[in-house]
Protein backbone atom coordinates (compact mmCIF):
# COMPACT_ATOMS: atom_id res chain seq x y z
CA UNK A 1 0.00 0.00 0.00
CA UNK A 2 1.33 3.44 -0.94
CA UNK A 3 0.36 6.24 1.41
CA UNK A 4 1.00 9.84 0.40
CA UNK A 5 0.64 12.79 2.71
CA UNK A 6 0.13 16.02 0.80
CA UNK A 7 1.18 19.16 2.64
CA UNK A 8 3.75 21.89 2.43
CA UNK A 9 5.05 21.28 5.92
CA UNK A 10 2.50 22.86 8.23
CA UNK A 11 1.83 21.54 11.73
CA UNK A 12 -1.39 19.83 10.69
CA UNK A 13 0.38 17.99 7.87
CA UNK A 14 3.04 16.62 10.20
CA UNK A 15 0.33 15.56 12.61
CA UNK A 16 -1.55 13.70 9.85
CA UNK A 17 1.57 11.75 8.96
CA UNK A 18 2.16 10.91 12.61
CA UNK A 19 -1.43 9.74 13.11
CA UNK A 20 -1.38 7.63 9.95
CA UNK A 21 1.91 6.02 10.93
CA UNK A 22 0.48 5.21 14.34
CA UNK A 23 -2.59 3.54 12.83
CA UNK A 24 -0.43 1.54 10.40
CA UNK A 25 1.75 0.33 13.27
CA UNK A 26 -1.17 -0.46 15.56
CA UNK A 27 -3.02 -2.51 12.93
CA UNK A 28 0.13 -4.26 11.76
CA UNK A 29 -0.24 -3.07 8.16
CA UNK A 30 2.57 -2.70 5.65
CA UNK A 31 2.77 0.58 3.82
CA UNK A 32 5.24 2.86 2.07
CA UNK A 33 5.04 6.51 3.07
CA UNK A 34 5.71 9.55 0.98
CA UNK A 35 5.33 13.16 2.11
CA UNK A 36 4.62 15.33 -0.95
CA UNK A 37 5.65 18.92 -0.32
CA UNK A 38 5.87 20.51 -3.80
CA UNK A 39 2.85 22.64 -4.60
CA UNK A 40 2.81 21.48 -8.24
CA UNK A 41 2.59 17.82 -7.33
CA UNK A 42 -0.01 18.53 -4.65
CA UNK A 43 -2.16 20.40 -7.16
CA UNK A 44 -2.07 17.41 -9.50
CA UNK A 45 -4.49 15.71 -7.12
CA UNK A 46 -8.09 16.82 -6.80
CA UNK A 47 -7.49 18.76 -3.59
CA UNK A 48 -7.67 22.44 -2.70
CA UNK A 49 -6.59 22.28 0.89
CA UNK A 50 -3.88 20.56 2.83
CA UNK A 51 -3.22 18.30 4.65
CA UNK A 52 -4.52 15.56 2.39
CA UNK A 53 -4.21 11.79 2.59
CA UNK A 54 -3.83 9.76 -0.61
CA UNK A 55 -3.98 5.97 -0.38
CA UNK A 56 -2.97 4.13 -3.55
CA UNK A 57 -3.54 7.33 -5.56
CA UNK A 58 -7.07 7.85 -4.22
CA UNK A 59 -7.69 10.99 -2.14
CA UNK A 60 -9.28 9.96 1.13
CA UNK A 61 -9.45 13.25 2.97
CA UNK A 62 -8.26 16.81 2.56
CA UNK A 63 -8.24 19.94 4.66
CA UNK A 64 -8.84 18.36 8.03
CA UNK A 65 -7.42 15.79 10.41
CA UNK A 66 -9.40 12.56 10.44
CA UNK A 67 -9.85 10.53 13.60
CA UNK A 68 -7.89 7.32 14.05
CA UNK A 69 -11.05 5.25 13.57
CA UNK A 70 -11.66 6.90 10.20
CA UNK A 71 -8.04 6.34 9.20
CA UNK A 72 -8.23 2.66 10.14
CA UNK A 73 -11.37 2.29 8.02
CA UNK A 74 -9.63 3.64 4.90
CA UNK A 75 -6.39 1.77 5.42
CA UNK A 76 -7.98 -1.61 6.06
CA UNK A 77 -10.80 -1.27 3.55
CA UNK B 1 22.18 53.78 32.39
CA UNK B 2 18.99 55.70 32.84
CA UNK B 3 18.58 55.60 29.10
CA UNK B 4 18.53 51.78 29.03
CA UNK B 5 16.27 51.71 32.06
CA UNK B 6 13.77 54.03 30.36
CA UNK B 7 13.73 51.91 27.24
CA UNK B 8 13.20 48.68 29.18
CA UNK B 9 10.51 50.28 31.28
CA UNK B 10 8.77 51.36 28.08
CA UNK B 11 8.82 47.75 26.87
CA UNK B 12 7.49 46.34 30.12
CA UNK B 13 4.78 48.98 30.35
CA UNK B 14 3.60 48.28 26.83
CA UNK B 15 3.60 44.54 27.47
CA UNK B 16 1.76 44.82 30.77
CA UNK B 17 -0.90 47.10 29.37
CA UNK B 18 -1.26 44.81 26.40
CA UNK B 19 -1.64 41.62 28.42
CA UNK B 20 -3.97 43.14 30.99
CA UNK B 21 -6.15 45.23 28.74
CA UNK B 22 -6.15 43.97 25.18
CA UNK B 23 -5.55 40.30 25.16
CA UNK B 24 -8.12 38.92 27.43
CA UNK B 25 -11.61 39.67 26.34
CA UNK B 26 -10.62 39.97 22.73
CA UNK B 27 -7.79 37.64 21.85
CA UNK B 28 -8.70 34.71 24.11
CA UNK B 29 -12.15 34.21 22.51
CA UNK B 30 -10.66 35.08 19.11
CA UNK B 31 -8.12 32.26 19.35
CA UNK B 32 -10.92 29.82 20.19
CA UNK B 33 -12.94 31.10 17.21
CA UNK B 34 -9.93 30.69 14.94
CA UNK B 35 -9.52 27.14 16.20
CA UNK B 36 -13.20 26.41 15.60
CA UNK B 37 -13.09 27.81 12.06
CA UNK B 38 -10.08 25.70 11.29
CA UNK B 39 -11.28 22.47 12.91
CA UNK B 40 -15.06 22.50 12.58
CA UNK B 41 -16.02 24.32 9.36
CA UNK B 42 -16.02 21.83 6.46
CA UNK B 43 -13.90 23.51 3.77
CA UNK B 44 -15.95 21.93 1.03
CA UNK B 45 -18.87 24.12 2.08
CA UNK B 46 -17.14 27.13 0.53
CA UNK B 47 -14.81 25.54 -2.00
CA UNK B 48 -17.74 24.17 -3.98
CA UNK B 49 -18.53 27.74 -5.05
CA UNK B 50 -15.05 28.36 -6.40
CA UNK B 51 -15.08 26.06 -9.41
CA UNK B 52 -14.28 27.20 -12.97
CA UNK B 53 -17.98 27.12 -13.92
CA UNK B 54 -19.19 29.25 -11.00
CA UNK B 55 -20.79 32.57 -11.98
CA UNK B 56 -18.51 35.60 -11.48
CA UNK B 57 -20.59 37.16 -8.72
CA UNK B 58 -20.70 33.94 -6.73
CA UNK B 59 -17.01 33.15 -7.10
CA UNK B 60 -15.82 36.60 -5.92
CA UNK B 61 -18.14 36.42 -2.91
CA UNK B 62 -17.01 32.86 -2.15
CA UNK B 63 -13.36 33.91 -2.48
CA UNK B 64 -13.92 36.62 0.12
CA UNK B 65 -15.76 34.10 2.32
CA UNK B 66 -12.89 31.64 2.00
CA UNK B 67 -10.52 34.45 2.91
CA UNK B 68 -12.23 35.19 6.20
CA UNK B 69 -13.43 31.69 7.17
CA UNK B 70 -10.87 29.19 5.90
CA UNK B 71 -7.63 31.07 5.77
CA UNK B 72 -6.90 31.42 9.45
CA UNK B 73 -3.73 29.46 8.95
CA UNK B 74 -0.96 30.29 6.52
CA UNK B 75 -0.79 26.64 5.49
CA UNK B 76 -4.29 27.00 4.04
CA UNK B 77 -3.62 30.20 2.13
CA UNK B 78 -1.02 28.89 -0.28
CA UNK B 79 -2.76 25.73 -1.58
CA UNK B 80 -6.14 27.46 -1.72
CA UNK B 81 -4.65 30.35 -3.68
CA UNK B 82 -2.91 28.00 -6.11
CA UNK B 83 -6.05 25.86 -6.37
CA UNK B 84 -8.42 28.74 -7.14
CA UNK B 85 -5.98 30.14 -9.69
CA UNK B 86 -5.12 26.96 -11.56
CA UNK B 87 -8.14 24.74 -11.22
CA UNK B 88 -10.97 26.95 -10.12
CA UNK B 89 -12.47 30.34 -10.71
CA UNK B 90 -9.22 31.87 -11.99
CA UNK B 91 -6.88 34.77 -11.27
CA UNK B 92 -9.48 37.36 -10.19
CA UNK B 93 -11.10 35.45 -7.31
CA UNK B 94 -7.70 34.04 -6.33
CA UNK B 95 -6.39 37.60 -5.91
CA UNK B 96 -9.50 38.63 -3.99
CA UNK B 97 -8.91 35.70 -1.66
CA UNK B 98 -5.24 36.57 -1.21
CA UNK B 99 -5.97 40.23 -0.48
CA UNK B 100 -8.89 39.69 1.84
CA UNK B 101 -7.51 36.84 3.97
CA UNK B 102 -4.98 38.70 6.16
CA UNK B 103 -7.24 41.71 6.76
CA UNK B 104 -10.44 39.86 7.50
CA UNK B 105 -9.47 37.03 9.78
CA UNK B 106 -11.09 37.06 13.18
CA UNK B 107 -7.84 37.57 15.11
CA UNK B 108 -6.74 40.65 13.17
CA UNK B 109 -10.18 42.24 13.21
CA UNK B 110 -10.97 41.78 16.88
CA UNK B 111 -7.51 42.92 17.93
CA UNK B 112 -7.70 45.99 15.71
CA UNK B 113 -11.12 46.81 17.17
CA UNK B 114 -9.92 46.63 20.75
CA UNK B 115 -6.50 48.23 20.39
CA UNK B 116 -7.33 50.98 17.90
CA UNK B 117 -11.10 51.37 18.02
CA UNK B 118 -14.11 49.85 16.31
CA UNK B 119 -14.03 52.36 13.45
CA UNK B 120 -10.60 51.09 12.38
CA UNK B 121 -11.78 47.48 12.41
CA UNK B 122 -14.85 48.34 10.33
CA UNK B 123 -12.78 50.42 7.91
CA UNK B 124 -10.31 47.58 7.60
CA UNK B 125 -12.91 44.98 6.64
CA UNK B 126 -15.06 47.21 4.41
CA UNK B 127 -12.13 48.70 2.50
CA UNK B 128 -10.36 45.34 2.22
CA UNK B 129 -13.51 43.74 0.82
CA UNK B 130 -14.20 46.52 -1.70
CA UNK B 131 -10.61 46.82 -2.86
CA UNK B 132 -9.98 43.07 -2.73
CA UNK B 133 -12.78 42.47 -5.21
CA UNK B 134 -11.70 45.52 -7.23
CA UNK B 135 -8.06 44.45 -7.51
CA UNK B 136 -9.15 40.90 -8.36
CA UNK B 137 -11.33 42.14 -11.22
CA UNK B 138 -8.63 44.45 -12.56
CA UNK B 139 -6.09 41.62 -12.53
CA UNK B 140 -8.58 39.36 -14.30
CA UNK B 141 -9.04 41.94 -17.08
CA UNK B 142 -5.34 42.79 -17.38
CA UNK B 143 -4.21 39.19 -17.76
CA UNK B 144 -7.22 37.81 -19.56
CA UNK B 145 -5.45 36.10 -22.43
CA UNK B 146 -2.63 34.63 -20.38
CA UNK B 147 -4.73 32.89 -17.76
CA UNK B 148 -4.39 29.11 -17.64
CA UNK B 149 -7.12 27.40 -19.58
CA UNK B 150 -9.45 25.79 -17.10
CA UNK B 151 -8.90 22.06 -17.11
CA UNK B 152 -11.70 19.54 -17.09
CA UNK B 153 -13.99 20.23 -14.13
CA UNK B 154 -12.19 18.96 -11.10
CA UNK B 155 -13.91 16.63 -8.70
CA UNK B 156 -12.98 18.96 -5.82
CA UNK B 157 -15.67 21.41 -6.75
CA UNK B 158 -18.45 18.87 -6.98
CA UNK B 159 -20.85 18.33 -4.14
CA UNK B 160 -20.33 19.12 -0.52
CA UNK B 161 -22.92 20.37 1.93
CA UNK B 162 -23.29 23.68 3.67
CA UNK B 163 -21.96 24.37 7.14
CA UNK B 164 -23.95 22.19 9.59
CA UNK B 165 -26.34 24.03 11.84
CA UNK B 166 -24.74 22.99 15.14
CA UNK B 167 -21.40 24.36 13.93
CA UNK B 168 -23.05 27.68 13.07
CA UNK B 169 -24.67 27.87 16.51
CA UNK B 170 -21.39 27.10 18.21
CA UNK B 171 -19.52 29.72 16.18
CA UNK B 172 -22.32 32.20 16.82
CA UNK B 173 -22.03 31.73 20.57
CA UNK B 174 -18.25 32.16 20.47
CA UNK B 175 -18.68 35.30 18.38
CA UNK B 176 -21.26 36.65 20.84
CA UNK B 177 -18.74 36.01 23.62
CA UNK B 178 -16.12 38.01 21.75
CA UNK B 179 -18.55 40.88 21.14
CA UNK B 180 -19.94 40.86 24.68
CA UNK B 181 -16.40 41.15 26.01
CA UNK B 182 -15.25 43.92 23.71
CA UNK B 183 -18.16 46.13 22.63
CA UNK B 184 -18.17 49.49 24.36
CA UNK B 185 -21.86 49.72 25.21
CA UNK B 186 -23.22 51.60 28.20
CA UNK B 187 -25.81 48.91 28.90
CA UNK B 188 -23.03 46.33 29.34
CA UNK B 189 -21.40 48.49 31.99
CA UNK B 190 -24.52 48.60 34.20
CA UNK B 191 -23.52 47.51 37.68
CA UNK B 192 -25.68 44.70 39.08
CA UNK B 193 -23.86 43.96 42.29
CA UNK B 194 -21.16 45.68 44.25
CA UNK B 195 -19.12 44.63 47.24
CA UNK B 196 -16.51 46.44 49.31
CA UNK B 197 -13.65 44.98 51.25
CA UNK B 198 -11.36 46.74 53.66
CA UNK B 199 -7.89 45.60 52.78
CA UNK B 200 -5.16 48.04 53.61
CA UNK B 201 -2.63 46.26 51.40
CA UNK B 202 -4.52 47.06 48.21
CA UNK B 203 -3.70 50.79 47.95
CA UNK B 204 -0.09 50.03 48.81
CA UNK B 205 0.16 47.43 46.06
CA UNK B 206 -1.45 49.79 43.56
CA UNK B 207 1.04 52.49 44.53
CA UNK B 208 3.91 50.09 43.91
CA UNK B 209 2.48 49.10 40.54
CA UNK B 210 2.13 52.77 39.61
CA UNK B 211 5.77 53.30 40.41
CA UNK B 212 6.93 50.31 38.35
CA UNK B 213 4.64 50.96 35.41
CA UNK B 214 3.93 54.69 35.48
CA UNK B 215 0.84 56.09 33.82
CA UNK B 216 1.76 58.67 31.23
CA UNK B 217 -1.07 59.69 28.98
CA UNK B 218 1.15 61.87 26.86
CA UNK B 219 2.96 58.84 25.51
CA UNK B 220 -0.03 56.50 25.68
CA UNK B 221 1.21 54.44 28.63
CA UNK B 222 -1.84 53.13 30.45
CA UNK B 223 -0.21 51.87 33.60
CA UNK B 224 -1.13 48.63 35.29
CA UNK B 225 -4.02 48.10 37.70
CA UNK B 226 -4.26 45.55 40.47
CA UNK B 227 -6.93 43.74 38.47
CA UNK B 228 -4.60 43.71 35.49
CA UNK B 229 -1.87 42.11 37.57
CA UNK B 230 -4.21 39.36 38.74
CA UNK B 231 -5.30 38.80 35.14
CA UNK B 232 -1.70 38.47 33.96
CA UNK B 233 -1.21 35.90 36.71
CA UNK B 234 -4.30 34.02 35.57
CA UNK B 235 -3.05 34.11 31.97
CA UNK B 236 0.24 32.58 33.08
CA UNK B 237 -1.69 29.85 34.91
CA UNK B 238 -3.77 29.16 31.80
CA UNK B 239 -0.62 28.97 29.72
CA UNK B 240 0.89 26.47 32.14
CA UNK B 241 -2.12 24.17 32.25
CA UNK B 242 -2.92 24.53 28.56
CA UNK B 243 0.53 23.26 27.62
CA UNK B 244 -0.62 19.73 28.34
CA UNK B 245 -4.34 20.33 28.76
CA UNK B 246 -4.91 21.66 25.26
CA UNK B 247 -1.64 20.70 23.59
CA UNK B 248 -2.43 17.01 24.03
CA UNK B 249 -6.19 17.31 23.75
CA UNK B 250 -6.16 15.41 20.47
CA UNK B 251 -5.23 12.28 22.38
CA UNK B 252 -8.33 12.63 24.51
CA UNK B 253 -9.29 15.19 27.12
CA UNK B 254 -7.28 14.94 30.31
CA UNK B 255 -7.87 16.55 33.68
CA UNK B 256 -5.78 19.55 32.77
CA UNK B 257 -8.07 20.19 29.78
CA UNK B 258 -10.95 20.80 32.14
CA UNK B 259 -8.78 22.85 34.50
CA UNK B 260 -7.70 25.03 31.55
CA UNK B 261 -11.24 25.56 30.29
CA UNK B 262 -12.51 26.41 33.79
CA UNK B 263 -9.62 28.87 34.22
CA UNK B 264 -10.36 30.50 30.85
CA UNK B 265 -14.02 30.95 31.83
CA UNK B 266 -13.10 32.36 35.23
CA UNK B 267 -10.56 34.73 33.72
CA UNK B 268 -13.02 36.04 31.14
CA UNK B 269 -15.67 36.72 33.79
CA UNK B 270 -13.13 38.37 36.09
CA UNK B 271 -11.78 40.51 33.25
CA UNK B 272 -15.31 41.67 32.46
CA UNK B 273 -15.96 42.72 36.05
CA UNK B 274 -14.65 45.87 37.62
CA UNK B 275 -12.16 46.08 40.46
CA UNK B 276 -11.36 49.46 41.92
CA UNK B 277 -8.80 50.22 44.57
CA UNK B 278 -10.11 52.71 47.12
CA UNK B 279 -8.28 54.51 49.89
CA UNK B 280 -8.73 51.66 52.35
CA UNK B 281 -9.48 48.57 50.31
CA UNK B 282 -11.18 47.17 47.24
CA UNK B 283 -14.51 47.53 45.47
CA UNK B 284 -15.59 44.64 43.29
CA UNK B 285 -18.48 45.27 40.96
CA UNK B 286 -20.21 42.71 38.80
CA UNK B 287 -21.77 44.34 35.77
CA UNK B 288 -24.03 43.22 32.96
CA UNK B 289 -20.94 42.36 30.93
CA UNK B 290 -19.71 39.82 33.49
CA UNK B 291 -23.16 38.18 33.58
CA UNK B 292 -23.44 37.95 29.80
CA UNK B 293 -19.91 36.55 29.47
CA UNK B 294 -20.61 34.00 32.21
CA UNK B 295 -23.91 32.99 30.61
CA UNK B 296 -22.34 32.55 27.16
CA UNK B 297 -19.51 30.42 28.58
CA UNK B 298 -22.09 28.13 30.23
CA UNK B 299 -24.14 28.08 27.03
CA UNK B 300 -21.18 26.54 25.19
CA UNK B 301 -21.32 23.39 27.32
CA UNK B 302 -24.63 21.89 26.10
CA UNK B 303 -23.71 22.90 22.55
CA UNK B 304 -20.40 21.08 22.76
CA UNK B 305 -22.28 17.84 23.46
CA UNK B 306 -23.74 17.90 19.98
CA UNK B 307 -20.29 17.40 18.48
CA UNK B 308 -18.32 14.19 18.42
CA UNK B 309 -15.60 14.02 21.03
CA UNK B 310 -12.96 13.96 18.28
CA UNK B 311 -14.20 17.24 16.82
CA UNK B 312 -14.07 18.99 20.19
CA UNK B 313 -10.58 17.67 20.80
CA UNK B 314 -9.52 18.97 17.38
CA UNK B 315 -11.01 22.35 18.22
CA UNK B 316 -9.04 22.66 21.45
CA UNK B 317 -5.85 21.39 19.83
CA UNK B 318 -6.15 23.84 16.92
CA UNK B 319 -6.91 26.79 19.20
CA UNK B 320 -3.82 26.05 21.26
CA UNK B 321 -1.76 25.61 18.12
CA UNK B 322 -2.72 29.13 17.02
CA UNK B 323 -1.80 30.48 20.43
CA UNK B 324 1.59 28.77 20.29
CA UNK B 325 2.22 29.95 16.75
CA UNK B 326 1.18 33.59 17.13
CA UNK B 327 1.33 34.58 20.78
CA UNK B 328 5.11 34.40 21.49
CA UNK B 329 5.93 36.56 18.46
CA UNK B 330 3.22 38.98 19.46
CA UNK B 331 4.58 39.30 22.99
CA UNK B 332 8.08 39.99 21.70
CA UNK B 333 6.66 42.42 19.14
CA UNK B 334 4.66 44.35 21.72
CA UNK B 335 7.67 44.57 24.02
CA UNK B 336 9.91 45.87 21.25
CA UNK B 337 7.29 48.39 20.16
CA UNK B 338 7.28 49.69 23.74
CA UNK B 339 11.07 50.01 23.69
CA UNK B 340 11.21 51.73 20.31
CA UNK B 341 8.39 54.05 21.34
CA UNK B 342 10.71 55.70 23.82
CA UNK B 343 13.11 56.80 21.09
CA UNK B 344 10.72 58.15 18.49
CA UNK B 345 9.88 61.82 18.69
CA UNK B 346 6.23 62.61 17.95
CA UNK B 347 7.41 65.53 15.79
CA UNK B 348 9.00 63.13 13.29
CA UNK B 349 5.81 61.18 12.78
CA UNK B 350 3.69 64.30 12.67
CA UNK B 351 5.96 65.86 10.07
CA UNK B 352 5.70 62.84 7.78
CA UNK B 353 2.16 61.61 8.37
CA UNK B 354 0.41 64.06 10.65
CA UNK B 355 -2.16 65.11 8.09
CA UNK B 356 -4.15 63.34 5.41
CA UNK B 357 -2.15 64.10 2.27
CA UNK B 358 -1.27 61.89 -0.67
CA UNK B 359 2.36 61.98 0.36
CA UNK B 360 1.57 60.99 3.95
CA UNK B 361 -0.54 58.06 2.74
CA UNK B 362 2.22 56.98 0.38
CA UNK B 363 4.63 57.07 3.32
CA UNK B 364 2.29 54.77 5.27
CA UNK B 365 2.09 52.35 2.35
CA UNK B 366 5.84 52.37 1.75
CA UNK B 367 6.50 51.57 5.38
CA UNK B 368 3.95 48.74 5.17
CA UNK B 369 5.47 47.24 2.03
CA UNK B 370 9.08 47.28 3.14
CA UNK B 371 8.58 46.23 6.73
CA UNK B 372 7.68 42.70 7.57
CA UNK B 373 6.05 41.98 10.89
CA UNK B 374 4.70 38.64 12.13
CA UNK B 375 0.93 38.14 12.15
CA UNK B 376 -0.93 40.70 14.30
CA UNK B 377 2.18 42.69 15.28
CA UNK B 378 1.03 45.32 12.76
CA UNK B 379 -1.66 46.28 15.28
CA UNK B 380 0.56 47.37 18.23
CA UNK B 381 2.76 49.17 15.73
CA UNK B 382 -0.24 51.03 14.35
CA UNK B 383 -1.25 51.83 17.91
CA UNK B 384 2.16 53.31 18.56
CA UNK B 385 1.90 55.48 15.44
CA UNK B 386 -1.56 56.63 16.48
CA UNK B 387 -0.34 57.66 19.93
CA UNK B 388 2.57 59.49 18.29
CA UNK B 389 0.16 61.61 16.29
CA UNK B 390 -0.19 59.83 12.96
CA UNK B 391 -3.33 60.80 11.11
CA UNK B 392 -5.95 57.97 10.89
CA UNK B 393 -5.80 58.09 7.09
CA UNK B 394 -2.13 57.16 6.61
CA UNK B 395 -2.60 54.71 9.46
CA UNK B 396 -5.26 52.80 7.52
CA UNK B 397 -3.03 52.99 4.43
CA UNK B 398 -0.29 51.33 6.46
CA UNK B 399 -2.67 48.74 7.96
CA UNK B 400 -3.99 47.83 4.52
CA UNK B 401 -0.59 47.33 2.92
CA UNK B 402 1.48 45.80 5.70
CA UNK B 403 -0.17 42.38 6.13
CA UNK B 404 -0.96 42.10 2.42
CA UNK B 405 2.53 42.65 1.18
CA UNK B 406 5.81 41.35 2.43
CA UNK B 407 8.79 40.09 0.54
CA UNK B 408 7.88 36.56 1.58
CA UNK B 409 4.32 36.74 0.31
CA UNK B 410 5.46 38.39 -2.94
CA UNK B 411 7.89 35.52 -3.55
CA UNK B 412 5.27 32.84 -2.89
CA UNK B 413 2.78 34.62 -5.10
CA UNK B 414 5.19 35.07 -7.96
CA UNK B 415 6.08 31.36 -7.82
CA UNK B 416 2.43 30.53 -8.43
CA UNK B 417 1.21 33.22 -10.82
CA UNK B 418 4.46 34.46 -12.34
CA UNK B 419 6.62 37.49 -11.71
CA UNK B 420 4.85 40.02 -13.92
CA UNK B 421 1.46 39.31 -12.40
CA UNK B 422 2.84 39.34 -8.86
CA UNK B 423 4.48 42.75 -9.30
CA UNK B 424 1.39 44.17 -10.97
CA UNK B 425 -0.51 42.99 -7.92
CA UNK B 426 1.98 44.72 -5.64
CA UNK B 427 1.58 47.95 -7.57
CA UNK B 428 -2.20 47.78 -7.43
CA UNK B 429 -2.18 47.08 -3.70
CA UNK B 430 0.04 50.12 -3.17
CA UNK B 431 -2.27 52.36 -5.20
CA UNK B 432 -5.43 51.08 -3.56
CA UNK B 433 -4.01 51.20 -0.03
CA UNK B 434 -3.13 54.86 -0.59
CA UNK B 435 -6.66 55.42 -1.84
CA UNK B 436 -8.10 53.62 1.17
CA UNK B 437 -6.06 55.77 3.52
CA UNK B 438 -7.06 58.97 1.76
CA UNK B 439 -10.76 58.17 1.92
CA UNK B 440 -10.72 57.01 5.55
CA UNK B 441 -8.68 60.07 6.49
CA UNK B 442 -11.11 62.36 4.69
CA UNK B 443 -13.97 60.69 6.52
CA UNK B 444 -12.39 61.25 9.94
CA UNK B 445 -11.72 64.85 8.92
CA UNK B 446 -15.43 65.34 8.39
CA UNK B 447 -16.10 64.71 4.71
CA UNK B 448 -19.61 63.25 4.40
CA UNK B 449 -19.75 59.53 3.68
CA UNK B 450 -22.02 59.98 0.65
CA UNK B 451 -19.60 62.32 -1.13
CA UNK B 452 -16.70 59.95 -0.47
CA UNK B 453 -18.64 56.98 -1.77
CA UNK B 454 -19.49 59.00 -4.88
CA UNK B 455 -15.84 59.96 -5.45
CA UNK B 456 -14.66 56.38 -4.91
CA UNK B 457 -17.31 54.99 -7.22
CA UNK B 458 -16.44 57.45 -9.97
CA UNK B 459 -12.75 56.63 -9.59
CA UNK B 460 -13.46 52.91 -9.90
CA UNK B 461 -15.83 53.52 -12.82
CA UNK B 462 -13.12 55.51 -14.60
CA UNK B 463 -10.60 52.77 -13.94
CA UNK B 464 -12.92 50.08 -15.26
CA UNK B 465 -13.67 52.13 -18.40
CA UNK B 466 -9.97 52.56 -19.10
CA UNK B 467 -9.33 48.86 -18.52
CA UNK B 468 -12.15 47.88 -20.82
CA UNK B 469 -10.84 50.17 -23.52
CA UNK B 470 -7.39 48.62 -23.25
CA UNK B 471 -9.02 45.23 -23.26
CA UNK B 472 -11.06 45.99 -26.37
CA UNK B 473 -8.02 47.28 -28.24
CA UNK B 474 -6.18 44.05 -27.52
CA UNK B 475 -9.11 41.75 -28.25
CA UNK B 476 -11.22 43.36 -30.96
CA UNK B 477 -14.53 41.64 -31.42
CA UNK B 478 -14.47 39.80 -28.15
CA UNK B 479 -17.08 41.07 -25.70
CA UNK B 480 -15.46 42.20 -22.45
CA UNK B 481 -16.12 40.05 -19.46
pLDDT in tens, B417-462: 888 889 889 899 998 899 899 989 998 888 888 888 888 788 778 8
Q: Do both B278 and B359 map to the same domain? A: no
Residue B148 lies in a domain: yes
A13/B314 Cβ within 8 A: no
pLDDT value of residue B151: 56
Mutation target for A interface from B51, B70, B79: give the one with most A CBs within 10 A.
B79
Q: How far is B289 from chain A (nearest CA, A)?
A: 35
pLDDT value of residue A51: 87
* More confident call, B457 vs B165: B165
**Contact criterion met (CB below 8 Å) for B411 and B395:** no
Determine how β-strand B191-198 pairs with β-strand B281-287.
antiparallel
Question: Residues of B at the A interface (Cβ-Cβ below 8 Å)?
Answer: 39, 42-44, 47, 50, 70, 73-76, 78-80, 82-84, 86-88, 154-156, 250, 308, 310, 314, 321, 325, 415-416
Q: Do both B285 and B313 map to the same domain? A: yes
Q: Do both B174 and B306 map to the same domain? A: yes
pLDDT in tens, B372-423: 787 788 888 998 898 888 999 999 999 988 887 777 778 878 888 888 889 8
Is the predicted pLDDT of residue A3 greater than 90, yes or no?
yes
Q: Please provide the average confidence, as pLDDT, over all residues in chain B.
A: 84
Q: Do both B178 and B290 map to the same domain? A: yes
Residue B307 lies in a domain: yes
* More confident call, B446 vs A18: A18
What is the Cα–Cα distance from B383 to B392, expressed in whole angstroms?
10
B415/A48 Cβ within 8 A: no
Q: Do both B87 and B34 map to the same domain? A: no
Q: Do both B147 and B157 map to the same domain? A: yes
Using a CB-CB cut-off of 8 Å, the residues of chain A touching B39 are: 64-65
pLDDT in tens, A31-48: 999 999 888 888 888 888
pLDDT band at B68 (very low <50, low <70, confident <90, very high): confident
Is the predicted pLDDT of residue B368 greater than 80, yes or no?
yes
A11/B83 Cβ within 8 A: no
pLDDT value of residue B479: 46
Q: Do both B9 and B56 map to the same domain? A: no
Domain carrying residue B282: 2-39+166-342
Q: Do both B295 and B310 map to the same domain? A: yes
B82/A65 Cβ within 8 A: no
Which of A8, A11, A42 is nearest residue B321 as measured by Cβ atoms? A11
What's the pTM? 0.87
pLDDT value of residue B407: 72
Contact with chain B for residue A18, Cβ under 8 A:
no
Q: Is A56 helix (H, G, I), strand (E, B) or coil?
A: coil
A46/B75 Cβ within 8 A: no
CATH of A2-76, one of 3.20.20.70, 3.40.30.10, 3.40.1830.10, 3.30.70.80: 3.40.30.10
Taking residues B208-230, what's their average pLDDT?
A: 77
Q: Determine what percent of chain B is predicted with pLDDT higher than 70.
A: 93
Q: Do both B190 and B326 map to the same domain? A: yes
Residue B302 lies in a domain: yes
Q: Do both B205 and B81 map to the same domain? A: no
Q: Do both B407 and B325 map to the same domain? A: no
Residue B245 lies in a domain: yes
Is the predicted pLDDT of residue B170 greater than 80, yes or no?
yes
pLDDT value of residue B474: 67
pLDDT in tens, B346-364: 888 888 888 889 999 999 9
Is the predicted pLDDT of residue B274 greater than 90, yes or no?
no
Out of B42-51, B139-148, B309-318, B370-379, least confident range: B139-148
pLDDT band at A7 (very low <50, low <70, confident <90, very high): confident
Q: How far is A47 from chain B (nearest CA, A)?
A: 6
Q: Do both B47 and B155 map to the same domain? A: yes
What is the Cα–Cα distance from B173 to B179, expressed in whole angstroms?
10
Which of A12, A62, A65 is nearest residue B75 as measured by Cβ atoms? A12
Is the predicted pLDDT of residue A4 greater than 90, yes or no?
yes
Final residue in a domain of this structure, among B295, B312, B342 = B342
Amino acid sequence: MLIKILGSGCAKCERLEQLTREVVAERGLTATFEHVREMDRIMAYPVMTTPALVVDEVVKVSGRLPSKAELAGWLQG
Amino acid sequence: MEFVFNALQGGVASLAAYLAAHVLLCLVPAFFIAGALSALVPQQSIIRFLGPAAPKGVSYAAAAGAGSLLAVCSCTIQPLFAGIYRKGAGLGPAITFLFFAPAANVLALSYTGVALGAEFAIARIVLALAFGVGIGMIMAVLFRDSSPTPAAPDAVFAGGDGIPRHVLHFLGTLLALLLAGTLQLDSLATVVWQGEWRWSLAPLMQATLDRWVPINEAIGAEGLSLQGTVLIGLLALIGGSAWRGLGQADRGCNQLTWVTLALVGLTLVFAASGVRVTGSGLTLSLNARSLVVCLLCLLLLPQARRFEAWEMQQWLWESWRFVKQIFPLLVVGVFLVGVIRVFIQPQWIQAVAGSNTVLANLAGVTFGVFMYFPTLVEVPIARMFLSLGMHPGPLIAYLMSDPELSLQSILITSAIIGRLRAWTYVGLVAVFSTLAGLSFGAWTDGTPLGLLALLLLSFIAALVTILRRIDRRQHPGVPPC
